[in-house]
Amino acid sequence: MAGTSQEWIQKAEKGKKWIKRFFLEEDGIGVIEVVLILVVLIGLVIIFKKQITNLLNSIFQEINSQSKEVY
């Protein structure tokens, strides 16, 4: 059993090292990429504003109705 847990620990350590190397090797995200991602996200929010608002309102109404049961 100890060998199995030791293997998992070694695999986890290798995974952490790989992730760390991946992020350190990256040159960074360029400004253009960040701007494009923001433009797409803002566009999606504008397009689906009504649906997002309705969804959030229904979620908060449900939270409020269930929180009244607790009191």
Q: Which amino acid is located at 34 in the chain?
A: V
CB atoms within 10 A of CB 65: 9
For residue range 12-54, what is the model confidence (pLDDT) as tens digits? 888 888 878 777 765 666 778 888 999 999 999 999 999 999 9
Give CA–CA dist 71/54, Å, rounded.
26
- Contact by Cβ (8 Å): 52, 45: yes
Q: Where are the beta strands (DSSP E) in the chain?
A: none
pLDDT of residue 28: 63
